[in-house]
Amino acid sequence: MKTSSQDIESGPYRISNVPAVTGAGTARVVLRDASGRETVTNLPFYVSSKLLAQGFYDFSLEAGMPRLFYATAADGYARQFVASASGRRGVWDGLTLEGHAEAGAGLWNAGAGAAMRTGSFGVVSAAVSASRLGGRTGWQSYLAYETGIFGMTLQLSSQRSFRSYDDLASATARLQTGSFADTQSVLGGLAFISPVVGIGAVPGSLWFNARPPKALDRISIGLPLPFDLSTLSASFIHLHDASDRISNILSASWSRGFGYNTTAFATAFTDIGDRKNCGFLVGLSIALGDAALASSGVSRDRNGTNVTVDAVKPLGQQPGSVGWRLHDSEGAAPDRSAAAAYRSNYARVEVGVRQKGRGAGATAEVEGAVATMGNGVFLANRIDDAFAVIDTGVPGVEVLHENRPVAITDSAGRALVPSLHSYQKNKIAIDTRNLPVDADISTSQDVIAPADRAGVRVDFRVRTDARSAILVLTTPAGQPIPAGSQGQVEGGEGFVVGYDGRAWVKGLAAQNSLSIALEARECRATFPYTPRPNEQVVIPVACQ
């Protein structure tokens, strides 16, 4: 599939803005010189999200009070401050180093790791970390390998925790150590916090340990069938949790595309050590057009059978787009929900309702941003990176980012574009079809590269006072002036005559004189001009 075509200068060249892909593949580069000779080069590659290009880095920092009893009706927070930080840096294209640290609630945890490409076949990664909590220490190791070859993907990973290893999840799970009766009053008797092993359930029911597992091994493989349109995948997970319970879970999935934008899929799993812990899902998804998708399926596990129907239309990025989703699950765990979203020039609005069991609820959400630049204050959709303020001076003009509509200018002729990529080339353009017929514009697009989380002003300098007109030029015999003839308005700009003797000129005065160079002679004419706002002025001119 052809993905890029561009002209290059002599010498070394670089191809940028290639499509995002993952796994192994081969890039076919065709180079054609000035004589028409072609040189074809096949370049194998392997792309992984675990690797950064040389000199690139990313980082994250989280801090605050940890939430207690997450995913329950309780909304309590611990009264202890916790923080975590992560960072990665590309040493070279095939090696990325990373580090991670956590602190708070009496915990200190730090670790380091690396990811390295093994030729063009895969990536191996390894990490170690150590922790200390309440006088107890422990450490954890991690080793993984991923590869893709002949269309097959293979992922292997192994994690081991030693002694009393803890992280923020397990440390904060033990922050609430009140009496069992007090905790029941908060959660309605659903669960409690154990000061020893973390989050559990009421005695006699299923409960679990919040500390990291002692062992977690994963093997997964996926491959497309060469004789069919199907894709198969399988995985095996070995889990030895902190309470010394062991699970060996085997799962398999199948999917196949059919005509009419339809895809069938099936998934099954079982715990080899507990055959009662098994289940399956069989379903069908259909593309409805206009980016909408519907799916239905039947699933069964140890809790019973459920029949599920979903329909969704994602919310687009352009102003005026509408998105929605419907969900209905009937059976052992009834669950029904509906939501609708709308994106305006100023914010994203979403409302939804949900019924689960005997409970019901409704939500409403407004998401946006406030930005200032120059003398303007702008309401816009969420800004995650850089942004630009577009100034046309004309209201109702559609603004495009990389050929996608993203905003419409307000009554002052300005619009904020919130979705730019920092330190990269961003193509910004305006739709000239929405400009007044008497508008004059020097360019309809620009390329900018803003800094990180910074704003850029783009002025397209649209003029509606250009005093322009279309002249219909004729010879003394009444015939149109030949196309390609060059003329000059006295005291103004030159122009070229088009078909049917028409020429567009600007900068006209109340009275004007012009001259046109013909093959055998030069002809002259005078004509008056009266501007008419929002109208294209057409003036017949007989050249003598």
In a domain, 418, yes or no: yes
In a domain, 417, yes or no: yes
The CA distance from 366 to 342, in Å, is: 10
Share of the chain above pLDDT 70, in %: 88
Nearest Cα residue to 263 out of 295, 232, 236: 295
Q: Is the pLDDT of residue 392 over 80?
A: yes
Which residue(s) pair with 341 in the sheet?
A: 323, 350
The number of residues in the chain equals 544
The CA distance from 105 to 125, in Å, is: 30
Nearest Cα residue to 75 out of 187, 194, 233: 187
In a domain, 309, yes or no: no
453 and 482 assigned to the same domain: no
Which residue(s) pair with 318 in the sheet?
A: none
DSSP 271-286: ETTEEEEEEEEEEEEE
pLDDT confidence of residue 61: 94
Quick check: 296 and 281 in contact, CB under 8 A?
no
Which residue(s) pair with 219 in the sheet?
A: 156, 236
In a domain, 227, yes or no: no
Residue type at 108?
Answer: W
pLDDT confidence of residue 25: 64
Q: What is the CATH number of the domain that holds 522?
A: 2.60.40.2070
Q: What is the DSSP letter of 500?
A: G
Phi, psi angle pair for 180, to nearest 5°: -60, -40
Where is mean pLDDT largest: 177-181, 278-282, 286-290? Answer: 278-282
Residues near 239 by beta carbon (within 8 Å), at least 6 away in sequence: 213, 215, 216, 246, 247, 248, 249
CA distances from 376 to 410, 416, 464 (A): 12, 10, 22
Where is mean pLDDT largest: 10-14, 248-252, 286-290? Answer: 248-252
Over the stretch 250-275, which tens digit does the pLDDT of each residue have?
A: 999 999 888 778 889 999 999 998 87
Q: Is 374 left (phi over 0), alpha (psi -120 to 50) or beta?
A: left
376 and 439 assigned to the same domain: yes
Identify the band that residue 45 occupies on the pLDDT scale cut at 50, 70 and 90: low
483 and 451 assigned to the same domain: no
Residue type at 120?
Answer: S
The CA distance from 172 to 66, in Å, is: 7
373 and 454 assigned to the same domain: yes
In a domain, 480, yes or no: yes
Nearest Cα residue to 169 out of 212, 215, 113, 108: 212
The CA distance from 471 to 539, in Å, is: 5
In a domain, 496, yes or no: yes
The CA distance from 214 to 263, in Å, is: 39
Six-digit token string for 208:
């679990």
Q: Is the pLDDT of residue 396 over 80?
A: yes
Domain end (from 459, 483, 501): 459
CA 366-367-368 angle, 5° bins? 125
Q: Is the pLDDT of residue 21 over 90?
A: no
497 and 534 assigned to the same domain: yes
Domain end (from 417, 435, 459): 459
Q: What is the CATH number of the domain that holds 413?
A: 2.60.40.2610
The CA distance from 503 to 465, in Å, is: 18
411 and 376 assigned to the same domain: yes
pLDDT confidence of residue 490: 87
Nearest Cα residue to 529 out of 517, 520, 541: 541
In a domain, 297, yes or no: no
Identify the band that residue 42 occupies on the pLDDT scale cut at 50, 70 and 90: confident
Phi, psi angle pair for 194, to nearest 5°: -95, 130
Helix (H, G, I), strand (E, B) or coil at 501: helix
In a domain, 479, yes or no: yes
pLDDT confidence of residue 185: 37
CA distances from 184 to 30, 78, 190, 193, 205 (A): 69, 17, 7, 10, 14
pLDDT confidence of residue 268: 93
The CA distance from 77 to 70, in Å, is: 10
Share of the chain above pLDDT 90, in %: 31
378 and 454 assigned to the same domain: yes
Where is mean pLDDT largest: 97-106, 268-277, 323-332, 423-432? Answer: 97-106
Six-digit token string for 181:
């009766």
Nearest Cα residue to 543 out of 517, 520, 509: 517
Domain end (from 406, 434, 459): 459
Residue ranges making up the domain that contains 532? 469-542
CB atoms within 10 A of CB 208: 14
Q: Is 189 left (phi over 0), alpha (psi -120 to 50) or beta?
A: left
Over the stretch 107-137, which tens digit does the pLDDT of each residue have?
A: 999 999 999 998 777 899 999 999 999 889 9
Domain count, the chain: 2
Phi, psi angle pair for 375, to nearest 5°: -100, 10
Phi, psi angle pair for 276, to nearest 5°: -70, -20
- The alpha helices in 157-276, defined as continuous H runs, are 168-173, 180-187
CA 297-298-302 angle, 5° bins? 140
The CA distance from 17 to 65, in Å, is: 40
491 and 522 assigned to the same domain: yes
